[in-house]
Amino acid sequence: MPDEKKLTKEEIVKTNSNHLRGTIKEELSKNTTHFEETDNKLLKFHGIYQQDDRDKRPELTASGKERAFSFMIRTKLPGGELTSSQYLGLNEICEKYTNKTLRVTTRQTIQFHGIIKGNLKATLKEINQNLINTYGACGDVVRNIMAPPVSDIDSEYSIDLCKLARDLSEHLVPNTRSYYEVWIDEEKIDLGGKDEEPLYGKTYLPRKFKIGITYPWDNSIDLFTQDVGIVVVEGGFNILIGGGLGHHHNKPETYPRLASEFCFVKSENLTKVVESIVLVQRDFGGRENRKHARMKYLVDDNGLDWFKSEVEKRTGFKLDPVKEIKEYKSRDYLGWHKQKNGNWYIGLFVENGRIYDGADKQIKSGLKQITEKFNVGVRLTPQQNVILTNIKEEDKSKIDEIIKKSSISTENTVSALRRNSMACVSLPTCGLALAEAERYLPKVITELEKLGYGEEATTIRMSGCPNSCSRPPVAEVGIIGLSANKYNIYVGGDFDGERLNKVYLEGVGSNGLVTEIEKLFKIYRTKRNSNERFGDFCNRVGVEKLKES
């Protein structure tokens, strides 16, 4: 049991929040621009982050003015699935209340940025009217559950993993009605003191909790980075536990960790086992230090055998050893693919997930036009891309035309290097950013393309800080913000996401990134074995030797 005196502020806030209500409702009715600390922490459980425009911050601070506050709202979309009318609904909300962009996240959801406090309630209401929820999209609970976004429509997949993700998500969502009372004006029902969280309890989980489900040959979800990874195998599922990527510079007690193989379960026991793993983290996860609270640390502190025995106490049955998986492969769904029902789906490249209309591209209008006209479904991928589904054979060429006219990138118009790149949101909205990411990586890629490296199918991922929201530690090249305009470069991860990379250079200026990556590509091109991928080459040679080359 944690020492009550040492509990973090977050734990106290959760305990006293009356199941996440706090005073959010009261504060909403006040004519202010932002919330104070306590409600601010609770808002996250409702899928909302208070932010301020960091581009404007220095000037505002210097002139003694208040920060330019606004809010980010994150939806919860298990497996990244949206109907056509849901997508159009979100598009309309985007037009009305946000910075006019929709942002596809690395966990297959949509985020909105730039919502002012006065519009928060209307935005939340309209999101819910579209039958989309934001409850538990952030906060110390189970987050959006990831799954291959085409598993119900592509004949390669025999199990509909999106449905499984939805069912699990439904099972693991917070139980109390606080969200609906605050945002949808649901009448408070007198439950005779039974307004409870049977799964989460009063203090919810110690930290965020991430789950992903997939087949070994589709590691698009980066299975090894999840708190719980679920893999389809013969007769059921393998379960992996303890993945997580967030860490801090110069704090070796924090580190990225790949999930460990844990057990095999039959399908009928899956929910029970996953729930029991969540309960072990709820009961034993660290609540005295947020930097040591993710389940990966609980696994490392106590070992897999201890963890297994605690899970078995909760399931009431013994866990079987995992089944052997020979290899994992990744994919990105770009291009045209035939569906089981004879229709088609197309995967489109959306750089860093930003759906916008600009001088160069009209991604937002293009997607809206296609969705409206052809009633297509929309799916979001773990690489921040968009898939349009249920397209009739006779509509393919008309859709191709709109894609071309809107300058939306396809597998034929994006370079291999850009196709495999990913950056987190970072500046100007992210309060934790140390350096640029989404606004800078495209420039790095353009330079590398100009130098002739566009056709290198290498995963390059940039994050503005070591929280690693674009999952750089499992990329072939990871670039992580260190301070303004400075980055660490990591190499040696593998293309399919099974290996962590290692630090290669520290404190590289933003202007030096292209030169350093080019150097590595040059060595790779002259010294690699045939068919050896970039990450495997760097791993084989080793960072020390690479530095000497």
Nearest approach, Cβ of residue 250 and ligand SRM (Å) = 15
**Which residues does 58 contact at the CB level (< 8 Å), separation at least 6?**
none
Residue (238 or 467) nearer to ligand SRM, CB: 467
> Is 57 a residue of the active site?
no
> Is 208 a residue of the active site?
yes
Interhelix angle for 161-172 vs 270-284, to 10°? 40
Q: Is 421 in the site for ligand SF4 (CB under 6 A)?
A: no
Task: Kindly list the residues in this chain that would bind ligand SRM in the complex (CB under 6 A).
Answer: 49, 51, 72, 74, 105-107, 109, 111, 143-144, 208, 210, 225, 244-246, 294, 353, 424-425, 429-432, 467-471
Range 309-341 burial, b when 16+ CB lie within 10 A, else e: ebbeeebeeebeebeeeeebebbbbbeebebee
Backbone angles phi, psi at 79, to 5 degrees: 70, 5
Determine which residue in the list 352, 463, 488, 539 makes contact with ligand SF4, applying CB under 6 A: 463
> Is 338 a residue of the active site?
no
Q: Is 265 in the site for ligand SF4 (CB under 6 A)?
A: no
> Is 143 a residue of the active site?
yes
Residue 464 binding result from ligand SF4, ligand SRM, none, given CB thresholds of 5 to 8 Å by partner type: ligand SF4
DSSP, collapsed to helix, strand or coil, labels residue 476 as: coil
Residue 203 binding result from ligand SF4, ligand SRM, none, given CB thresholds of 5 to 8 Å by partner type: none
Residue (106 or 269) nearer to ligand SRM, CB: 106
> Is 121 a residue of the active site?
no
Which member of 430, 461, 499, 538 is catalytic?
430
DSSP state of 186: P
- Helix (H) or strand (E) holding 94, with range, is helix 84-97
Residue (258 or 508) nearer to ligand SRM, CB: 258
Nearest approach, Cβ of residue 290 and ligand SRM (Å) = 7
> Is 430 a residue of the active site?
yes
Instruction: Determine contact, residues 11/4, Cβ cutoff 8 Å.
Output: no
CA angle 484, 445, 223 (to 5 degrees): 85
Instruction: Give the strands of the sheet with 335-338, arranged side by side.
Output: 81-82, 377-380, 386-391, 344-348, 335-338
Q: Tell the burial category of 280 from Cβ atoms under 10 Å away from its Cβ (0-12, 13-18, 19+).
A: buried
**Which residues does 303 contact at the CB level (< 8 Å), separation at least 6?**
none
Q: Is 432 in the site for ligand SF4 (CB under 6 A)?
A: yes
Determine which residue in the list 70, 176, 389, 467 makes contact with ligand SF4, applying CB under 6 A: 467
User: Candidates 39-47, 346-354, 418-426, 512-520 — which segment interacts with ligand SF4 by CB under 6 A?
Assistant: 418-426
Q: Tell the burial category of 365 from Cβ atoms under 10 Å away from its Cβ (0-12, 13-18, 19+).
A: middle
> Is 54 a residue of the active site?
no
Give the Cα separation of 14 and 19 in Å (integer): 7
Q: Is 433 in the site for ligand SF4 (CB under 6 A)?
A: yes
Nearest approach, Cβ of residue 216 and ligand SRM (Å) = 18
Positions marked active-site: 74, 143, 208, 210, 424, 430, 465, 469
Name the site residues for ligand SF4 (rule: CB under 6 A).
424-426, 430, 432-433, 437, 463-465, 467-469
